[in-house]
Amino acid sequence: MYNYFTLANGIRIVHRQTDSAVAYSGVYVNVGSRDEQGPEEGAAHFIEHSIFKGTDKRRPHHIRNRIDGVGGELDAFTTKEETCIYATSLARHLPRCIELFADLLFRPAFPLREIENEKEVVAEEINLYKDSPADLIYDEFEERFFGAHPLGHNILGTKRNVRRFSPEFLHAFMAGRYTPDRMVISVVGNVEFDALVRLCRRYFEAAAPRPAAAAAPPRTAPAPAPFSATAARHTHQVHLLIGCAAPSLFDPRKTAFALLNNLLGGPAMNSRLNVSIREKHGFCYSVESQYAPFTDAGLFYIYAGVDSDAAERSTELILAELRRLRDVPLTHRQIAAAQQQMVGQMAITNDSGLNEMQSIGKACLNYGRADTLEEMAADLRAVTAEELQQTARSLLAEEGLSYLYYR
C-alpha cells in the first residue's frame, strides 16, 4: 500500500497513490524542542516560523503566494521531537510544493528585518498561551515532571531567548540538525511514485549529506519523578491534571496502553471518564485523557476543568476509574467493543488525506516504515484482556501518579 525510497543523501520518501484531485505533501524533520539546550530553547519553533520569511531567491510574499496563489494551503508545526512543513494542493501543483519545501529547508535567508518582526509575533503567541490555563497546565506539568530535561521545556521557548536569536545563530542551529538523514518526504495523492521520486531527486538530492562535524547533540532519556502541586491562578474553574510515565514509541506495551487510554478518556462520549464525571455527576464540561509517546519516554495525562467544590470528588472519581482498570479485567465483549471502537476511529482519521500524510511521515521518521490500517487493526485486536490489565497495573498505579491543580 505504501511506497518507499531513499535518496542518495539519506532523505526518505513515503507515498500512497490515490485518485483524488488533491495532493497532501510534507517534510518531517527529526528536530524538535528537545534538541535545544539553555539559550537555544525555542529555536526549533522560531525557525519553523522564520523559514517562511525569505529564502535566497524568494521574498516572504513570493513564499505566501507560491501555494496560496493556486488555491492551496501551506503550513508548519513544531513538536517536542519533530518539525513538519506541509501543503495541501491540487495534485498537478505538487511540483510547486516539493520545490518550495526544498527552498525553505536548504536556502532560508533569515532576513534581519523580517526576523525582528517575527520575534514580536512569537512573543504574542507566548502571551496568548499563558492566558489559557487549560493549555498552560500541560506545559507546567511537563516542566515539573521532566525537571531540567529538554522534554520539560516549552516548545515556544521564552521571550528572552527568542529576542536574542540572530540570523547567524539560526543558520548554525539548522546546519547541525536539519540534515537530509533526518528528513522524510511524505505524499498522499494522485501522483505516480516514479514521478515523485524524480521530483524529489531534482529538488532534494543536491542537498549535501550530513557532515560528521556538524552532528547534533545526542538525545538522552529523561528520569521523571512523581510530584503533587497546586498553583494559584485565580481561575473560575479548578483545572486539574493527573499523569504518569507511559510507554515510549518503541515499548512493546504501546498498543495496549493506547487502547487503555482510548477506553478511559478518549474522544468518544462513552469513555469511562466522560460517563462518570460529566454524564453521571455533571462536574465538568470537558474531561479527557491523552497519551504522548516519545522515542525514549512517554507521558499520560488526565485533564478536567471543574467547579472548585467538585475538585476533590472529581479526583476521587478519576482514581476510581484507574483502580477499576487495574482490578477488574475486561470481559470478552468489553475488549472486543473497545477494539472495534478504536479501529473505527483510526479509519475515520485516516480517511483524511492530510491526517494520513502526517501519520505515515511521522511513522517513517521513527520506524522506517508506516503500518497500514489493516496492520494497526490487527495489532489492536491481538491485545488480550490479561495484557490490558497487566499494563494498567504496571503503569497506572497510584504511587506513580503526579498531580497539578490550578485554583
Q: Which three cell numbers, joined as nine digits, stand for 286?
A: 470537558
Last residue of a domain, one of 188, 213, 238: 213
Q: Are residues 292 and 166 in the same domain?
A: no
Cβ atoms of 330 and 339 within 8 Å: the answer is: no
Q: Are residues 163 and 258 in the same domain?
A: no
Q: Are residues 48 and 77 in the same domain?
A: yes
Q: Are residues 191 and 339 in the same domain?
A: no
Q: Are residues 400 and 294 in the same domain?
A: yes
Q: Are residues 166 and 287 in the same domain?
A: no
Q: Which three cell numbers, joined as nine digits, stand for 391?
A: 499494563
Compute the distance between CA of residue 213 and CA of residue 215 in angstroms, rounded to an integer.
6
Structural domain includes residue 218: no
Compute the distance between CA of residue 43 and CA of residue 176 in angstroms, rounded to an integer.
13
Last residue of a domain, one of 213, 239, 267: 213
Dihedral (CA of 104, 110, 116, 122) sign: positive
Structural domain includes residue 220: no
Q: What are phi and psi of 221, to 5 degrees?
A: -75, 145
Q: Are residues 201 and 236 in the same domain?
A: no
Structural domain includes residue 222: no
Compute the distance between CA of residue 404 and CA of residue 301 in angstroms, rounded to an integer.
11
b/e map 134-171, b = 16+ CB within 10 Å = eebbbbbbbbbbbeebbbbbbbbbebebbeebeeeebe
Structural domain includes residue 324: yes
Q: Are residues 178 and 264 in the same domain?
A: no
Cβ atoms of 388 and 256 within 8 Å: the answer is: yes
Q: Are residues 294 and 395 in the same domain?
A: yes
CATH number at residue 142: 3.30.830.10
Secondary structure of residue 196 in the 3-state scheme: helix
pLDDT means per 10 residues in the chain (407 residues)?
96 97 98 95 97 96 96 98 98 98 97 96 92 92 95 95 96 92 97 97 84 67 94 91 98 98 96 96 93 97 94 96 97 97 96 97 97 96 97 96 97
Q: Are residues 283 and 176 in the same domain?
A: no
Last residue of a domain, one of 213, 245, 265: 213
Structural domain includes residue 82: yes
Q: Are residues 265 and 383 in the same domain?
A: yes
Closest CA to 182 of 365, 371, 345, 402: 365
Structural domain includes residue 221: no
Please give the single-letter amino acid code of residue 99.
Answer: E
Integer-rounded Cα radius of gyration of the chain: 22
Closest CA to 149 of 242, 45, 225, 254: 225
- Strand-pair category, 298-306 with 183-189: unpaired
pLDDT given for residue 240 in this prediction:
97
Compute the distance between CA of residue 357 and CA of residue 187 in angstroms, rounded to an integer.
6
Structural domain includes residue 388: yes
Q: Which three cell numbers, joined as nine digits, stand for 234?
A: 485565580
Q: Are residues 209 and 92 in the same domain?
A: yes
Domain that holds residue 90: 3-213
pLDDT given for residue 39 in this prediction:
94
Within 122-274, strands assigned E span 183-189, 228-231, 238-245
Chain centre to alpha carbon of residue 63: 25
Structural domain includes residue 189: yes
For the chain, the domain total comes to 2
